[in-house]
Amino acid sequence: MQQFSNYINGVFVPANNGRVFQNINPADSRDIIGEFPLSDSSDADAAVAAASAAFHSWRLVPAPQRGNILRRAGDIFERRKDELAAIMTREMGKPLFETRGDIQEAIDTCYYAATEGRRLFGYNAPSEMPNKMNLSFRNPVGVCGIITAWNFPVAVPSWKIIPALVCGNTVVFKPSDDAPHSGVIFAEILAEAGLPAGVFNVIHGNAEAGAAIVAHPDVKVIGFTGSTATGKAIAADCGRMNKKCSLEMGGKNAQIVMEDANMELALEGVLWGAFGTTGQRCTATSRLILHEAIHDDFLEKLIARATALRLGNGLQSETQVGPVINKRQLEKIENYAQIARGEGAFCALGGERATDGDLACGNFFKPTIFTEVTKDMRLFREEVFGPMLAVSKARDLEHAIELANYCEYGLSSSIFTANVDAAFQAIRDIEAGITYINAPTIGAEAHMPFGGIKGTGNGHREGGWTVFDIFTEWKTVYVDYSGRLQRAQIDNQ
Ligand code: NAD
């Protein structure tokens, strides 16, 4: 069986304790991809020590030169795209066209960060005193601990790792144990691009390894993507240590379809939003809110289209919907189907595992649609993270927005309407970090801020220019060339 390693100070090494875990193909449990180190705090200590030592010199490399290395990393991701997509699909299940898109997001992020190396703008402002100049600069923070989920194994880590590096930080990365291969991919690519040893390090493992990174006093900022429960626990630890942390957590995203919408477009939108990535996206459309005037007609067409979706191994070109990530998640989705039935929702499609032929060897759940879902039901409010769509009916726009807002999360949202007034009202009133007009709840672009409010985030935004606020600290500089003591408010009162 293939053995994989941690990556510390430019060298691939096993876990100190010698323990390993297996990486299993979710589409076929007979396919064991390899064994990865099950790291503990001693591995985290070694990785953080390497990253701390490397920080002294990496922070002094001019940012445009740091950007050049990341541009080369983007070129290598591009060159290896097909090979990496196959690795990722085998490991976490989504079809090849999706894993290629996952890598494209990392390429875009590398090229964006490369040019940011020539910007990283600060602000200047006039001084209130004569012959004095006020400036501000971004400084790197230090060692960044990056801990991520498995559903975007390359794209999501790239949103954190690449900006952190261009800002002059060093990194210790712990990928999800459900998709650990991305750690190896980043190590190989960043080394080939010319990143000095120790600047980027990887330790594999589960919560134990992640918690060790969070707890390490020399890790200055945590960039986390995962469930809200884990994120809140990490935030509590960071709070006790006065450590900066950026959290990207769960979602329960709604698509609203108004009576005047382009129905074909709205149908395509919800099919992609709800069942793309097998519904395992933080931005997946897990709630569909239909205006009552089009409810029955839309639903009939949606069920027909969802019935025709092809489930299968993502490595096969005809597959539209892959497996769910692991047995635990399969059981969780199954449990939600039971809960929804018990609460009085109607199962209009699916609602059970798919076990025909080869599907029996993997973690497959049928695309599922529950209708007559009301806001008091758990299915309406709780994140399932699977191919399960909850459909509700709204009387009018105000009611639709009220329903969309009735949940703990606030990541993505969407409205299909031809009415410009309704669109702007939705933009203003929907409580979410992202609102799409006439597009599904998924489809973020690397150069725009990404993140959510309420239970989804803690005020930070990845992507775009906003990510640089996570990975830098501001330094304000006053230059007084008056040759005399000037005392700001004391002189100017
Ligand atoms: P998870 O919270 O179980 O795990 C996420 C990561 O945290 C993993 O690497 C895990 O090993 C690590 N971890 C677990 N416990 C830890 C602890 N106590 N201390 C430190 N690290 C710990 O999430 P998951 O099941 O891998 O991913 C699914 C979740 O991720 C969903 O809720 C989904 O919405 C969310 N997600 C959010 C975004 C976003 O950008 N908002 C993107 C993708 C996924």
Rounded to whole angstroms, what are the CA distances from 470 to 148, 164, 239, 372, 464? 16, 8, 16, 42, 12
With the most atoms of ligand 1 within 8 angstroms of its CB, the residue from 40, 91, 94, 176 to mutate is 176
- pLDDT given for residue 42 in this prediction: 98
Q: Give the per-residue pLDDT at 479.
A: 98
How far apart CA 185 and CA 92 sit, in angstroms, is 14
What's the rounded Cα separation, in Å, for the pair 329 and 336? 11
Residues of the chain with CATH 3.40.309.10: 253-437
- Dump pLDDT digits (tens) for 114-161: 999 999 999 999 999 999 999 999 999 999 999 999 999 999 999 999
In the chain, how long is the greatest CA-to-CA distance?
85
Decide: 467 in ligand 1 pocket, CB within 6 A. Answer: no
Whole-number average pLDDT of the chain: 98
CA of 149 to the centre of ligand 1 (A): 4
Per-residue confidence (pLDDT) for residue 33, from 0 to 100: 97
Told to judge if 282 belongs to the known catalytic residues of this protein, a careful annotator would answer yes
Which ligand 1 atom lies nearest to the CA of residue 234?
A: 19
pLDDT at position 56 = 98
Cα-to-centroid distance, 258 and ligand 1 (Å) = 34
Q: What is the pLDDT of residues 290-328, one digit of tens each?
A: 999 999 999 999 999 999 999 999 999 999 999 999 999
Is the CB of residue 28 below 6 angstroms from any atom belonging to ligand 1?
no
- Among residues of the chain, what percentage have pLDDT more than 70? 100
The segment(s) of the chain belonging to CATH 3.40.605.10 are 6-249+457-476
pLDDT at site 270? 98
Active site residue 361: no
Q: What is the pLDDT of residues 96-106, one digit of tens each?
A: 999 999 999 99
Beta-strand pair 244-248/200-202: unpaired
Q: CATH number of the domain at 6-249+457-476, please?
A: 3.40.605.10
Averaged pLDDT, 260-273: 98
Distance 166 CA to ligand 1 centre (A): 24
Q: Which residues pair with 202 in a beta bridge?
A: 7, 173
Query: What homologous superfamily is domain 253-437 in, according to CATH?
Result: Aldehyde Dehydrogenase; Chain A, domain 2 (3.40.309.10)
Task: Name the percent of the chain lying above pLDDT 90.
Answer: 99
Cα distance between the two ends of the chain: 75
Residues 67-86: tens digit of each pLDDT:
999 999 999 999 999 999 99
- Please tell me the predicted confidence (pLDDT) of residue 140: 98
Is the CB of residue 250 below 6 angstroms from any atom belonging to ligand 1? yes
| Residue pair 40/212 in contact by the 8 Å Cβ criterion | yes
Band (pLDDT 50/70/90 cuts) for residue 367 is: very high
Question: Which pLDDT belongs to residue 66?
Answer: 98
- What is the pTM assigned to this prediction? 0.97
Does residue 176's CB lie within 6 angstroms of at least one atom of ligand 1? yes
Q: What tens digit of pLDDT does each residue of 421-466 get?
A: 999 999 999 999 999 999 999 999 999 999 999 999 999 999 999 9
pLDDT of 401 reads: 98
What is the distance between the alpha carbons of residues 22 and 270, in angstroms, rounded to a whole number?
35
Residue 225 CA to ligand 1 center (angstroms) comes to 5
> Quick one: pLDDT at residue 216?
98
**b/e per residue 314-336 (b: at least 16 CB within 10 A):** bbeeebbbbbbbbeebbeebbeb
Q: What is the pLDDT of residues 229-251, one digit of tens each?
A: 999 999 999 999 999 999 999 99
pLDDT range class, residue 198, cuts 50, 70, 90: very high
